[in-house]
Amino acid sequence: MNTRKVLLGNEAIARGLIESGCDVITAYPGTPSSEILPAAAAFADELGTKTVVEWGANEKVALEVALGATFAGKRACAVMKQVGLNVAMDPFMSAAHFQLEGGMIVIVSDDPGCHASQDDQDSRGLALFAKVPCFDPASAEEAKSMVASAFELSEKHKVMVMLRPAVRIDHCRQDVQLGEVRHASAPADFKTRPAGHKVVMPARIMPFLEAHNARFEAIRQEFETGFGQYNFEIPAKRPATLGVIAGGVSFSIVKDLLEALGRDDVAILKIGTPVPLPEKLAEDFLARHERVLVLEETFPVIENQLLDRTRVMGRWNGWVPKQGELVPEVVESVLLKALGEEPPSDPALERLAAARERLGLSVKKPVLCAGCGHRPSYFAIRKALPDSIIASDIGCYSLSIQQQAVDTIVCMGASITVASGLACAWRSEGAAPRRPIFATLGDSTFFHNGMTGLATAVYNRHPFVLAIMDNRITAMTGGQDHPGTGDKPRQNETGVAVGLEEAVRGCGVSYLKVLEPYEVEANLETIREAWAYAKEHQEPAVLVFRHPCVTMLKARPEKRPVTVVAEKCIGCRFCQDRFGCPGLAWDGENRKARIDERFCVDCGVCVSACPHGAIVRIGEVL
């Protein structure tokens, strides 16, 4: 086969995994990495491979499952987003030290600019920390090719390797060369000898560390000369006034920029293997250029590995911004500054800015979908107990901050543990909580990291209400399955659905009720009852708000169209500030709410959102 196809970067990576004969692929979804695993399943189906493609309940689980497969000599890969690696850091560190039988890649997608993340951490930094070699692709095609290289490097040195695509590689769409499956692993077998070679224990670890450090240096030597397709120089066509060392998409941006500006006096050293840095390659480039600008996202990982930074312009001396994405406009301004040149003036832009200001244009923030079950769930909690503290979590429902219904978000599963901590704060005074405490998280997040927190809360008798927003899917990342759904990524393969209620009861919870979020009025009493129970019995009470994600609906639900009765709408904006549905727009001119037919899905739930009865079911208007 010799065809090109336009693929999403994540699809190109997935294709690389299947072509490389990866036997076991695991993941927990997280933007920008989420599409890799489903695409791998689709390619495996298409090419008829036996590849095991599975979601883990969280990233730690996913990485450990992949690692176990390499113990039996298979090629394996675990996929996650950058903050997912924090969850998987424990096995990541241990796995780094093993001599692996089968090739292993960890794919960690970074999110410079925090498009869909709580921070902009650079996973190359964690690769350096763990002394795990890292590939940093500058295009979809290169990412696909690096998958194959990473497996080869992994097997040659018996070491785990990281592939770190950043968001612009994950979510680029590019034409990519397709190939065939090119590798087959040996039959699965676990070598029991030498005894304990897969056991990390204090007494055994010293020789592991020595071997680990030696391998890291050997790989550095290999990166110096052996990976010219990823590490190369684009020399200036005349004596260079500036050198640029760049990796990842920053390389692609600066390359296009120099071409567009017609600059032939700037040399580029591209680094595709930033960890461990091929030091001699970089030092040779530094020696030949008077000044060198380093462009990489998001941390100074290449920069900090340079032994002499006196001629380096980077983050350490303020030439490159320490936060924010290096988009082409930023790269242009940094480059011109480094060249000592002024950007051309553009008076037309000032007129555009003035027009935007007058027309009142601003970035539209993401909101929960029209008809989403999360919105009325949070609305009901706030309405039933306005004084409640709501500890929320990572998922679509974090968008309920716009309903003023989210008080804390920390990380996956921390809704439950933060609620515990709040309860402990009052307990430390010998008192019951003086405000109702709620923890809210989704079904996928509950299986990810919620159960351990819940078991701890039951054990320690922490009084709060846990509201599980069960929409039967991992929604924010685009609709992936999880243990609670039982469905699996590959065709004709089904798993076993782990019952949410059974899991909750298994953690020792005695108060558990399942609610339909659309029934706002009916739910108010149950919400108050659950809090009263938690407080009286000194234990967590659990409410499951169950409504399938509207983006996954297979059949159209019953239509309950509504309208806003203009005479009754007093323009208080309560429905906007506390309910905030895209289908319920604000008419600024008349200062009244109105239905926006473009987005309204006729769920009829907003009838409960108006304290003045101005939103009514069509047919009930008199």
Partner 1 sequence: MQFIIVGIGGQGILFASRVLGHVALSKGLHVNGSEVHGMSQRGGSVISHFKIGSYASPLVRAKEADILLAFEQGEGLRNFHFLKKGGTALVNTDRPEAFSDPDLVAFLRAREVRLYPVEGTRLLREKMGGRFLFLNALILGALAASGASGFEAVDLKKAVAELAPARFREENLKAFELGFEALPERS
The per-residue b/e assignment along 323-356, b for 16 or more CB within 10 angstroms, e otherwise, is eebbeeebbbebbeebbeeeeeeeeeeeeeeeee
> Which residues of 357-435 form beta strands (DSSP E)?
389-391
Of 125-133, 206-214, 252-260, 559-567, the segment contacting partner 1 by CB under 8 A is 252-260
Of 40-48, 309-317, 346-354, 456-464, the segment contacting partner 1 by CB under 8 A is 346-354
Q: How far is the CB of 126 from partner 1 (least distance, A)?
A: 21
Indicate which single residue of 199, 355, 425, 566 sits in contact with partner 1 (rule: CB under 8 A): 355
Should residue 338 be labelled a site residue for partner 1 when binding is judged by CB under 8 A?
no
Q: Are the beta carbons of 81 and 109 closer than 8 angstroms? A: yes
**Cβ-proximal residues to 149 (8 Å cutoff; 6+ apart), any chain:** 135, 227, 230
* 3-class SS letters over 551-584: HHCCCCCCCCCEEECCCCCCCCCHHHHHCCCCCE
Should residue 249 be labelled a site residue for partner 1 when binding is judged by CB under 8 A?
yes
Between 69 and 258, CB nearer to partner 1: 258
Should residue 586 be labelled a site residue for partner 1 when binding is judged by CB under 8 A?
no
- List, as one string, the DSSP characters of 298-340: SS-HHHHH-S--TTEESTTTTSS-SSS---HHHHHHHHHHHTT
CA angle 37, 39, 42 (to 5 degrees): 115
**Cβ-proximal residues to 138 (8 Å cutoff; 6+ apart), any chain:** 169, 247, 248, 249, 251, 252, 270, 272
Should residue 598 be labelled a site residue for partner 1 when binding is judged by CB under 8 A?
yes
Between 70 and 398, CB nearer to partner 1: 398
Q: How far is the CB of 359 from partner 1 (least distance, A)?
A: 6
Indicate which single residue of 40, 161, 163, 253 sits in contact with partner 1 (rule: CB under 8 A): 253
- Which residues from 460-479 bind partner 1, rule CB under 8 A? 476-478
Between 6 and 553, CB nearer to partner 1: 6
Of 298-306, 360-368, 404-412, 509-517, the segment contacting partner 1 by CB under 8 A is 360-368
The C-alpha atoms of residue 84 and residue 32 are separated, in whole angstroms, by 11
- Omega of the bond prior to 32 within 30 degrees of 0, cis? yes
Of 55-63, 190-198, 326-334, 449-457, the segment contacting partner 1 by CB under 8 A is 326-334
The C-alpha atoms of residue 66 and residue 79 are separated, in whole angstroms, by 10
Nearest in space to 489 (alpha carbons), one of 49, 77, 39, 48: 39
Of 172-180, 183-191, 515-523, 534-542, the segment contacting partner 1 by CB under 8 A is 172-180
Q: Are the beta carbons of 300 and 289 closer than 8 angstroms? A: no
Between 366 and 486, CB nearer to partner 1: 366
Tokens (6 digits) for 113: 């600019």
Should residue 552 be labelled a site residue for partner 1 when binding is judged by CB under 8 A?
no
The per-residue b/e assignment along 292-306, b for 16 or more CB within 10 angstroms, e otherwise, is bbbbbbbbbbbbebb
Indicate which single residue of 16, 32, 371, 540 sits in contact with partner 1 (rule: CB under 8 A): 32
Should residue 260 be labelled a site residue for partner 1 when binding is judged by CB under 8 A?
yes
Q: How far is the CB of 553 from partner 1 (least distance, A)?
A: 14
Q: How far is the CB of 12 from partner 1 (least distance, A)?
A: 12
Should residue 348 be labelled a site residue for partner 1 when binding is judged by CB under 8 A?
yes
Interface residues with partner 1 (CB under 8 A) are 4-6, 8, 31-32, 34-35, 115-116, 138-139, 168, 171-175, 249, 251-253, 255-257, 260, 327-329, 332, 346-349, 351-352, 354-356, 358-359, 361-369, 396, 399, 476-478, 582, 597-599
